[in-house]
Structure 1
């Protein structure tokens, strides 16, 4: 298992407040990767109309919510299972599959390795190469998929690299895994931010493959991490039933279920989010192109990974310069295979993005 150092997560605002003496209310977090528009317009306007929902138990099957998710994602509602955030579903999948040896494509989100360790499984990493701009080499991955592996874990688009895998490549991966008896768990937390989300999502593949499950949530795109609503999409109904049987009943409260239905139908909010992230992603890349002291990797999520090329500047230097201005970025030295020359930040509103870029470029251009 790869050793991880202490770091600040996007939700660690209280810790930041204590160490740097900055009120958490005054911190703009570029580390949490959350939609800068805030919660859905329709949710903000209409949730109070449904407050009486807390007086009754939720539908045990969450049928109405699942149908809303199905319409939003373009699948059959019977292919959907909801859970208390995608983290619960990651845990349940790993508990059920109980893999002895898992291959994780990384650097990536640490929770996969953590959950695997709780089940006593061994985690191995397939390393994304900096020389390939952290794009997945399909041929090399196929060679690494030996028959001892029983679970492959992919994040698409990947955190923190913001690289992505197209559907045709995913089909090749699934074919190889099917041949070798390997189950595939795909975390699509950030796919809705992709400029080609409909070509990247693996949801259509669940109609043809029974060895894949896709996990999503509302924490990032819908800016609602506190509601703890996640969902899985899988064409293997027997597997979904087995996962559901391990869940506690009513893990999603009534208000979260109602809120989910409202958010997934807020087309104006969804379109505004996609337009904002797309335009800011393109604009920020153009600005970074002017700085010879960094290299960035083509971003497809709502965040960007940046490598510092100057010997005398570290990721912590940039973190501290930014946080003293109330701007929190991610020092990526804690991710597997990355060192103290990498930072990650998400795309916020234009004025906030400009404030952060001013700080970073001032430090890098000294």
Structure 2
């Protein structure tokens, strides 16, 4: 299975001889209003520490995160992006059987296969309810040891409430739930489990990448019971998080106003885009609660010619043909600034006539 990601600017630039700043990248779902100004100055200042090793235990950032989230620091593990932690979890717990709800982020499957787990898939509606998840767990072919659940889900943008998640988890106490909240900061009514004490069978993943717009720094974290974090830490590679990322991460925790302002602005732009797609007969947008939209061609034809046509205009979209349960007629777009969103809409109208 193709496990490619969005945002592969390097490949496009290499192929066409373009510079990254020449391209409008709708394929990577990153906050278009970031990073905060303070992140830039902190990054430059961190160069002073380049001759020293970073703290392999990330103590300062863990303490700061713990204070912000009201969580003990020994229940926090910092990673080189949440992707490092996604691949670490199956290695650390060696589950026999992993259940993945589809369509969703492909690295769950890749991480389970790398750990030689048996993988089961449950195809859900694009806007599932908690009952769909419950039925999928009940209908699994064999005992499930671990579940990956993306909330809000990539690429659909659907989101379960905190109460619904807690209900599902409580009814499956023998299953380890990995709740990936990489896009949680974009949801208006935060559907995060971090607002209540975590059960022993839950790991919550979070990312600095999306909301703060720092994908090159690679910074994420896991929160779970202390014994779970200890087990993960035993297999985690040392010094996987660099000093610059740690310094910037600390300063970003002070940017509450930036996060709230970004959420409001992105909601407004998402509503603008969704309204534009409602006026098109050839493209249908799936309702989303986060910073991207899943789009389908109503004629069910492949989006590849459309994607290539847009590339020639230096605009990238994310084909979703490699997401289980979607196929060739789907693509995903990030919510960007108004002028960029207008340009995409105009280009799509021209090409879908």
TM-score over 0.5 for the alignment? yes
- State how far apart, in whole Å, the 1-side matches of 2:294 and 2:123 are: 16
Query: Secondary structure in 1 aligned to 2:136?
Result: helix
Equivalent residues of 1:135, 1:163 under 8 A apart: no
CA pair 146-36 structure 1, distance change in 2 beyond 3 A = same
- Say how many residue pairs are matched: 352
> 1:321 deviation in Å?
2.5
Question: 320, 326, 329: which one pairs with 1:338?
Answer: 326
Equivalent residue runs for 1:179-258 within 5 Å: 181-197=174-190, 200-205=191-196, 207-234=197-224, 236-258=225-247
Which residue of structure 1 lines up, in the alignment, with residue 66 of structure 2?
70
Question: 288, 310, 317: which one pairs with 1:329?
Answer: 317
Question: 28, 50, 56: which one pairs with 1:54?
Answer: 50
- State how far apart, in whole Å, the 2-side matches of 1:250 and 1:196 are: 35
- State how far apart, in whole Å, the 2-side matches of 1:21 and 1:54 are: 32
- State how far apart, in whole Å, the 2-side matches of 1:107 and 1:56 are: 43
Equivalent residues of 2:99, 2:122 under 8 A apart: yes
Equivalent residue runs for 1:116-135 within 5 Å: 116-130=112-126, 133-134=127-128
CA pair 50-160 structure 1, distance change in 2 beyond 3 A = same
- In structure 1, stretches of 5+ residues that fail to align are none
Query: Secondary structure in 1 aligned to 2:171?
Result: helix
Equivalent residues of 1:322, 1:328 under 8 A apart: yes
> 1:19 deviation in Å?
4.2
Equivalent residues of 2:22, 2:314 under 8 A apart: yes
Query: Secondary structure in 1 aligned to 2:296?
Result: strand
> 1:298 deviation in Å?
1.1
Which residue of structure 2 lines up, in the alignment, with residue 308 of structure 1?
297
Deviates more, 1:139-148 or 1:162-171: 139-148
Equivalent residue runs for 1:1-366 within 5 Å: 3-4=1-2, 9-20=5-16, 22-130=18-126, 133-134=127-128, 137-145=132-140, 148-178=143-173, 181-197=174-190, 200-205=191-196, 207-234=197-224, 236-310=225-299, 313-364=301-352, 366=353
Q: Please, what TM-score do these two structures have when normalized by structure 2?
A: 0.93
- State how far apart, in whole Å, the 2-side matches of 1:33 and 1:363 are: 23
Equivalent residues of 1:142, 1:173 under 8 A apart: no
- State how far apart, in whole Å, the 2-side matches of 1:263 and 1:91 are: 25
Equivalent residues of 1:153, 1:186 under 8 A apart: yes
Equivalent residues of 1:105, 1:128 under 8 A apart: yes
Equivalent residues of 1:142, 1:176 under 8 A apart: no
Deviates more, 1:280-289 or 1:100-109: 280-289
> 1:290 deviation in Å?
1.4
- State how far apart, in whole Å, the 1-side matches of 2:303 and 2:194 are: 36
CA pair 192-152 structure 1, distance change in 2 beyond 3 A = same
> 1:53 deviation in Å?
2.4
What's the CA shift string for 1:298-357, capped at 9, x where partnerless?
A: 11121000111135x531132123212111001111111112211100001111111011
Note the aligned Cα RMSD (angstroms).
2.0
CA pair 73-144 structure 1, distance change in 2 beyond 3 A = farther
Equivalent residues of 1:304, 1:345 under 8 A apart: yes
Q: Please, what TM-score do these two structures have when normalized by structure 1?
A: 0.90
- In structure 2, stretches of 5+ residues that fail to align are none
> 1:120 deviation in Å?
0.9
- State how far apart, in whole Å, the 2-side matches of 1:271 and 1:159 are: 21
- State how far apart, in whole Å, the 2-side matches of 1:363 and 1:135 are: 35
Equivalent residues of 2:134, 2:168 under 8 A apart: no
